[in-house]
Amino acid sequence: MAEARTLDPSLLREYDVRGIVGETLFADDAYALGRAFARVVADRGGSRIAVGYDGRISSPELADAFASALVDSGMTVLEVGLGPTPLLYYATKVRGADAGVQITGSHNPPEYNGLKFMLNGEPFFGKDIAELGEIAGRGDFVDGTGAREWIAVMPEYVEALARELDLASNIRVAWDPGNGAAGAATQMLKKIAPGQHTLINAEVDGRFPNHHPDPSKVENLEQLQQAVRQGQCDLGVAFDGDGDRIGVVDEEGEVLWPDELMILFARDMPGVGNKAPIVADVKASKLLFDKIAETGGEPIMWKTGHSLIKAKMAETGAQLAGEMSGHVFINDRWYGFDDALYAACRLLRIVAARNISLAEFRRNLPEIFNTPEIRFECPPDRKFEVAGEIEQRLADDPDSEVITVDGVRVNTPQGWWLLRASNTQDMLVARCEAYDAEGLEQLKEQLADQLALSNLKIPAEIEPAAQALTTSQGT
């Protein structure tokens, strides 16, 4: 009979479980979470759970503890082994599993790790995550004698990816998995995919010796940019630590941001000319929403968070969704989960089939001016209150249209600015986007004024004298 275990409250996040191994996350926690999750799966009539893990040093031990807990609860464990999170999602879909769990620290530093869940084909997050902690704390487990079954699904997954590349025989691509869990898949893909493929940092190494595995940061794309330029490639793609977020550079080595990519993907959706819904998170450029509408699609602005986006896709029947963090979800010829490897193959197919120059595509987009994503600390008892205060203050302002999908996104004659609470940290997240440099400064001042009125410290990036300006197309 397993004992109850109280989990560190910082482990239970909105979208997943995440902690520092040896400080807030231990193998005993993974075991307790496995017992708790088995309770939930059993209560919903399930018994088959796929389990995979990423390339972090701590992942095999955590995965073994979690799988052991499932077996002790009477579950059948389908062991996917080492691979990217999309491989786990794929295995859950094609092998008839009732649930799937990936042991992964995603894009975080090496000392972090955690768990991502899915159940009955749907994301498992929010109150479901909190419930796992409650079940573990009560020791309200089910007992049984289950089994562990190895499933070799990686070759099948890679072959499915390669089917998108039948038109890409002349394409030249540089790939950077960042020593993350997508490394083995990219090596297998290189052997069977048409075209010329250059791999860097493809050996799985949970220490991430070459750069941090987060393609949303420009500094983590420098090696890829160099490889593209030296190899005269048509484009380069990068992945985060568990392969569910993508980064892209064009043939000139310049970054193509996720909302720019979404414009290309939107044009490739079969229903886009007939009011097909396409979902993007609240941080995305106005340019993306405008371009979706121009091509005949129905743009839907939604909350940030991969689990929230997947739930919105299911609700609306959307074929495509994306986030500024690099999660891309495609539900046309694929399964609707966030899969950076599939997104990369789909992009290669678009480039080859349409003979598109990504650099030319980028330059032809309207020029806009914006800040990067700005994150700054905020007391936990205040971070969800500030948006409501701003909404009230701007209610009667004729020059401000306030959108409250996730925090406040304020449209003004100069452009828009955003302030939202992070669901995973005691922080606020801000962003400004304008039509010209002068307008950007005005937006930063408006945001700074609102923060001051709520008695919050103004981050340096949006102080009047700050130089957070970046110029891009669709960033």
* Residues with catalytic function: 106
Close Cβ partners of 223 (under 8 Å, ≥ 6 residues apart): 176, 200, 201, 210, 211
Pairing of strands 320-322, 277-281: parallel
106 near 242, Cβ under 8 Å? yes
φ, ψ for residue 25, nearest 5 deg: -130, 125
- Rg (C-alpha) for the chain, rounded Å, is 22
Q: What is the DSSP string of 81-134?
A: EES-HHHHHHHHHHTT-SEEEEE--TTS-TTEEEEEEEETTEE--THHHHHHHH
β-sheet bridge partners, residue 99: 49, 119
Rounded to the nearest 10 degrees, the angle between the axes of helix 183-192 and helix 340-354 is 30
**Cα(340)–Cα(342) distance, integer angstroms:** 5
Q: Taking the CB of residue 364, how many other CB atoms lie within 10 A of it? A: 9
- The conformation of residue 75, written as its DSSP 8-state character, comes to P
Amino acid at 428: L
Burial of 422 (0-12, 13-18, 19+ CB in 10 A): middle
> What's the CA angle centered on 367, arms 362 and 371, to 5 degrees?
100
338 near 306, Cβ under 8 Å? yes
Structure tokens at 376: 């700054």
For the stretch 15-51, what's the b/e string if a residue is b when 16 or more beta carbons lie within 10 angstroms of its beta carbon?
A: bbbbbbbeeebbbebbbbbbbbbbbbbbeeebbbbbb
Query: For 32, what's the count of Cα atoms within 13 Å in the CB-facing half-sphere?
Result: 25
Burial of 375 (0-12, 13-18, 19+ CB in 10 A): middle
**Cα(289)–Cα(334) distance, integer angstroms:** 23
**Cα(157)–Cα(315) distance, integer angstroms:** 27
151 near 50, Cβ under 8 Å? yes
**Cα(135)–Cα(145) distance, integer angstroms:** 20
Helix, strand or coil, per DSSP, at residue 287: helix
